[in-house]
Amino acid sequence: MNRLPLHLALLLALVLVGCRSPQPQNIKVTPVTRLTPPLSPQEHIFGYSVENRPITYLLLGHGPNTCLIMATIHGNEQAGTPLLLQLIEHLQQPQNAHLLAGRQLVIVPVANPDGVAHNRRFNSRGIDLNRNFPADNRRNTKKFGQSALSEPESTALYQLIDQYHPSRIVTIHQPLNCIDYDGPAQHLAEQMAMQCNLPIKKLGSRPGSLGSYAGNTLNIPIITLEFPRSDDNLSPQQLFQTYSPTLLTFIKYK
C-alpha cells in the first residue's frame, strides 16, 4: 500500500489500534498501546467495538442532503477502507469544495475494527454484524446474534443512521464483483454502474443485513458495492482511480 498522508494514517491507526480503558472483565484482549492522536474537527468517535477499538466517522460539508458512505463491516473485505481515506483527502482539497456544497457526508472508513484487526468477517464475538440489524427479515441465530443490535458495532451504526437520517447509503464489500441495491435505489445503482465495471446484480435481501434494514425497513436507498477480491492488490491511488467516478456519482446524486 502506498503511503497515506499523515493525518489519514493517524486516523487509520486510531481506528485499528486505539483502545479505551478499562476493558470489560469477561473479554480477553491482547494488550494494545493506547493511541490518542488529536482528532480533527471533522472526526468523531461514535462507538466502540467489543475489544474497545473506537469506531469513527468523518463529517464533511453542510446541508440537508446527507449521504452515509461506509466500508469494512466485514473485516476481511478491506479494499473499501483505503479507497475512502483517499476520497476523504480528495474532498478536503480546497478546489473540490464544490462537491460538498449543500450536502453533508458521513464517512465511516472502518465499521468493524476488530474484524479488520483480526482479518475476519465477524466481530470479536463471532457475530456477522451485517446480519444484526432490526430488519423485518432478521433471524436470531448464533452467527447473526441472539437479538437484533446485540453487538456494539451494529448498535453504533444504527444510532448513527438515526442521528443523521441519510437520504442514501453506500456500503463497500468484497468479493462478489457487482453492484447490489435495496430500497428505492434502482436508478441510483444504474447511474453508478455507468461509471465503473461492476454490473448490477440483485443478490437478494439477506436477513438482518444493513441493506434489508435501511433499504426495506426504513426505505432509504442503499447501494452495496461488491468489489472483486483482486482489488486487494490495488494501491489506494489505483482504488481511487477505479472507483472515484462511481462514488462521486453517488455523492452528487439528487
Piece of 86-94, 111-119, 165-173, 185-193 that binds Zn ion (CB under 5 A): 165-173
Among 173, 221, 240, 243, binds Zn ion (CB under 5 A): 173
Q: Which is nearer to Zn ion, 43 or 226 (CB)?
A: 226
For position 138 contacting Zn ion by CB under 5 A, the verdict is: no
Overall size of the chain counted in residues: 254
Phi, psi at 60, each rounded to 5°: -120, 140
For position 74 contacting Zn ion by CB under 5 A, the verdict is: yes
For position 103 contacting Zn ion by CB under 5 A, the verdict is: no
**From CA 204, how far away is CA 22, in angstroms rounded?**
41
Residue nearest to Zn ion (CB): 173
Name the DSSP class of 215.
I
Q: How far is the CB of 110 from Zn ion (least distance, A)?
A: 14
CB 71 within 8 A of CB 108: yes
CB 179 within 8 A of CB 192: yes
Q: Which residue has the cell 469494512?
A: 72
For position 131 contacting Zn ion by CB under 5 A, the verdict is: no
Q: Which is nearer to Zn ion, 152 or 211 (CB)?
A: 211
Angle between the 236-252 and 186-193 helix axes, to the nearest 10 degrees?
140
For position 206 contacting Zn ion by CB under 5 A, the verdict is: no
Q: How far apart are the first and last CA of the chain?
A: 34
Piece of 27-35, 69-77, 131-139, 206-214 that binds Zn ion (CB under 5 A): 69-77
The residues of the shown chain that bind Zn ion, judged by CB under 5 A, are: 74, 77, 173
